[in-house]
Structure formats: structure tokens, C-alpha cells
Amino acid sequence: MGIVRKQSIQSSILQYMGAGIGFINRTFLLTQFLPTDQVGIVSFILANALAYSQFGALGLPNVILRYFPFFRNKEQGHHGFFRWVMGMSFLGFLFITLNYVLLKPWIAGYFQENSAGFVEYYYYLVPLGFFAIYMEVMDAYLRSLFKTVVPVFIREVGQRLAVLVSVVVYALGWVDFGGFVILFVALVSSLSLVVVLYLLFLGQFHLGRRSGWRLKRMRAKMLRYSGFSYLSGISNMLIYTIDQWMLGGMKGMAEVGIYTTVFYVTSLILIPWKALAKISMPLLAEHWANNDLPAIQKLYQRTSLINLLTGSFLFLGIYINAPNLFRILPDDYAAGFMTLVYIGSTRVFIMTSGLNAYILLNSKRYVIDVVLSVLMIGLTIVTNFIFIPRFGIDGAALATLITFVSINLVRSILVFGFFRLHPLSGRMALVLAIAGIGFLSQFFIPYLGNVWLDILVRSVVFAVVYLGLTLGLRPVKDVNDFAVLVLKKLGLRKGK
């Protein structure tokens, strides 16, 4: 866990830097300078760029994470593996772009009534999607090389800075909204070129012809896995974007603007989970390659326990300050309170479920996870169709909660049934007790009359109680080890 802990900490720091910039973008810039419908358009374009990349990447990121250990050999250019995935990615881009162009009449017709603003920027997704595809592929490649910090910086901090610059330029009146969209698409797209430069710096950008006997031997197996992984990947992507598509079509871009803003706030909860998953997935692939189930079980339990501790802390921290958040945002956004509760609860449950989906995907039973992911699409569509007309943005959030809790419970049960692996431990009960006490510690603090003072006092009380109990009761050894490391770095504790 040494590699996991070190790079996870570094990645978390960078992701929180990005989250801080993103929070400024969302609460002080986008929501203040753009009406809710234009906020919805910007968020919708970014979300659909992710969808574009998932459709175009052809499941290759998961192929890289699973099969790269069999090709790893820098002197031999990894036996042509990188060249192959880059070529396949271009075919994926051509495939999705052709379909995107052909489907424009149907897609534009769906959004024309309530979200016509998006249709005006329809083709902006093509260049943004191209670079997003290669960002996904190169990110997975770098993770397999255990080089996660720089790509995390580029994606989490760089993208937010690109949006920040674009908003500032717009706020200064140098461009209109159309120019703003062009500028942020260009800046976000250019980040993929930075990743290329980083790979060249590492000497890992192997596009030349190399000995490909391993590739020929394993290509059919990788393509088969790619197909199943593709279905799983687009299923997960659709689950995260169907709500926005249906909300935009049924209610309009203003609703999307409110929903995606609240959705972003709760995404802060997932930062430790994403950082931990990026480091754990290559290790998980290595353990499966060695058929080391005890190592997988240890990784599964420890990551789930860490996720429960950090997820609960962040969700409760956001929840207790939610009234202050909606005092800062324009009045329209107050409608998103229950959306915050539903999505936040979903985030914590996903984190606590841990690596269940990755365990299935990296095992010989990966077809089952693909089937579950496809079923999630159907459940997502049905629940959104039922709840959005009745409850609007809260309905979309409730549909997300029902879908993710249901499918993740099934995944966890199957992982235990097939491999006798589970994420549960007795220390989870201790974490939940700490979370409950931390929440109650500030529950009866009255509103102090000033938003920023109230946030400060409420957050400090909650954090001191929560973190104090965590360090004192030691439910997660990694947290205490990190605290000791920080104290040593600050010279407050002796030792190496």
C-alpha cells in the first residue's frame, strides 16, 4: 500500500486544488455571470464530451489497465502495445463522429423545444470529443506506468483553469457567449497535447513499429475484452449523463444548470475515491495476473474503509453547510437542496462499495459486470422517466440514488459469491459512530448571522470532533500514518 498511499495523497491534493478552482468557477463566476440556461449549456457540453470519449475510446482504457502488465518492456517499446491502442482510438473517433453527424436531426429535434441553445453548439463536441478520447487512453496508459500525478494535475487542475480563464475573459466583456464557448473548448482540448509532451519527456510515446508477436497472440483476447468493456463503459457513462439528457429534453437547460451545479458540489466527495481507485486499479490487475486473492481482499477492504471515512466526512461537511451554500448562490439554485442530499448519499454508497466493479471487470467473470451495467441503463431510463416529470431535478437525483444503490448491492453480492471477497470490516461501525458524533457536534449551533463566519465556525467544530475521534480511536491505520508523516515533516515529531 506504500505506492497507493503516496500517490493517492499527491493525487488527492491536486484534485482538491482543482476542486477549489472549480468551486470558484461554479459559485462565484459561472453562476454569477451566466444565467442558469447558459450554465446548463456549458455543463451539458462538458458532460457530452465525456460521453463522446466513452463511445469513441472503445473500452481501451480498461484494456490498457488489464493487459499492459503482459507487454511491459520499455526497451522493446512495450511490444507495440501503445501504437496499437492509439490506432484503435482513432478508429473509435471516426466511428462515434460518423454516428454523431448522422443522428443530428433526431438529437436536435429532441432538444429543440426546451433546450434549443445546446443545438447551436452541436458540432463543438467533435474537436472536444477527439481530444477527450485520447486523454482517456493516455491517462490509462500513464496509470499503468504508475505515473498518475501529472495527468491528474492536467485533468483536474488544468481543465478548471481553462474554464476559469474563459469565464474571466467573458466577464471582462472581451467575448460574447459564443466566443466564450469557443475559447473554453479550445483550451480544454489543448490539455491532451500537454499529456503527449509528458509522454515524450518520459520516453514512453512509442509509436514506431516494434516486435508484435505478443500483440498478435493476445489481440483477439484483448478485442473481445474491449467489446465487453466498451459496453460496460458506455453503460456507466450513460448512467451519469442520461439524467442530464432527459432533464434537458423534458424541463430545459435552466434545470440542467441547477442540477449540474449541485451535482458538481457533491462530486467533491468522490475526490479521495477517484485518487485511490486510479492507483489501486493497476495493482488490482497485477494481483489478478498473479491470482493473489488474499492481496485483492486486503486491497478491497482497506480502500472501502478509507472511502467510508473520507466520504462520510466530506458529505456531512457539505450537508451541514448546505444552507450557507444556497445563500451564496443565486436564488434559483435553492431548489437543489434535496438533489444535494440524494446525490451526496449516492456518492458515499458508491465509495463504500469500493472496488467491486473493478474486481469483476478484471476477473474471468467480467461479462457479468457488463450485463449489470447494461441493466443499469434500463433502470436509469425508467426511473428518470417516472420521477423527472413529477419532481424535476429532485426526481433525476432520486433516480440516480435508486439505480446506483441497487446495482452496487448486486455487484457486491456477486463478488462475494464468486470469490469470497467483501469490503466489510468491524472498523466500519466505528467510522459510522465517529460520523454520527461529528454531525451531532454542530447540529445545535444556531445560524451566526454571517455566511462566512457560520461556515468557518460550523466546519471547524465538525472537523475537530471528526478528525480528533479518527486520530484517537484509529479506525483507519493509513490516516494515522499520514498524520504522523505530516507531523514529522513539520518537525513536530521526532523520527525518520
**Cell reading at 105:** 436531426
Q: What is the mean pLDDT of residues 439-445?
A: 86
156-161: which pairs have CB atoms within 8 A and are 24 or more residues apart?
Answer: 156/14, 156/15, 156/17, 156/18, 156/19, 157/14, 157/17, 157/18, 157/21, 158/191, 158/194, 159/18, 159/188, 159/191, 160/18, 160/21, 160/22, 160/25, 161/21
First to last CA, the chain: 19
Which carries the bigger pLDDT value, residue 404 or residue 354? Answer: 404
Distance between CA atoms of residues 348 and 311, nearest Å: 5
How large a percentage of the chain has pLDDT more than 90?
22
pLDDT of residue 255: 87
Which carries the bigger pLDDT value, residue 386 or residue 108? Answer: 386
pTM: 0.75
- Lowest-pLDDT range, 115-129, 375-389, 454-468? 115-129
Question: Do the beta carbons of residue 363 and residue 304 sit within 8 Å?
Answer: no
Q: What is the mean pLDDT of residues 3-12?
A: 63
Q: What is the mean pLDDT of residues 194-212?
A: 77
**pLDDT-derived band of residue 315, with 50, 70 and 90 as boundaries?**
very high
Please say if the pLDDT value at position 209 is more than 70: no
How large a percentage of the chain has pLDDT more than 70?
90
**pLDDT-derived band of residue 395, with 50, 70 and 90 as boundaries?**
very high
pLDDT of residue 211: 57
pLDDT of residue 348: 94
pLDDT tens readout for residues 352-363: 987 888 888 778
Please say if the pLDDT value at position 75 is more than 70: no
pLDDT of residue 72: 72
pLDDT of residue 1: 46
pLDDT of residue 21: 87
Neighbour count for residue 172 (Cβ, 10 Å) = 8
Q: What is the mean pLDDT of residues 363-374?
A: 80
Q: What is the mean pLDDT of residues 105-131?
A: 81
pLDDT of residue 487: 52
Task: Return the H-helix or E-strand segment holding 422.
Answer: none
Mean pLDDT of the chain: 83
pLDDT tens readout for residues 163-188: 889 988 988 889 888 898 899 889 98
**φ and ψ of 120, to 5 deg:** -60, -30
- Lowest-pLDDT range, 46-50, 92-96, 273-277, 484-488? 484-488
**φ and ψ of 180, to 5 deg:** -60, -45
